[in-house]
Homo-oligomer: A and B are copies of this chain.
Amino acid sequence: MSEKRNLTDTFAALGDPTRFAIVERLLQDGELPAGTLHGVADLSAPAMSRHLRVLREAGIVSQRVDAQRRLYQVRPEAVKAINDWAISYADFWSGSFDRLSAALRKRTAK
């Protein structure tokens, strides 16, 4: 039920420096509990929790419950959606748009 989402919500969620840092941390380290993420910015647990909620509601991260911990990870579809959008305009921004990139474009556009 958190599938049909437009890119605007995604961009809005990533538009905050703290949330962007959270996402990059998760992209690099994989799945992490909320507590560990406190390190990415100097803010309280509640503040972190609310940022995670925003990311969750935007469909950017998924939450998994493990005992009293909440494990977060980035949803691949979210990043892929951003890539698909940018790629769909590749002939505009890419000076060297050629057969090779067109192949990937077709592939990821599917």
Contact = CB atoms under 8 A, between A and B. Distances in A.
A61 to B, nearest CB: 13
A15 B15 CA distance: 7
Contacts of A39: none
State the copy count for this chain: 2
A85 to B, nearest CB: 8
A11 B85 CA distance: 13
Given A83-B86, A93-B83, A15 B8 contact: yes
A16 B8 contact: yes
Interface string A48-91: 00000000000000000000000000101111101101110110
8 contacts: A13-B15, A27-B92, A83-B83, A83-B86, A83-B87, A100-B103, A100-B107, A101-B104
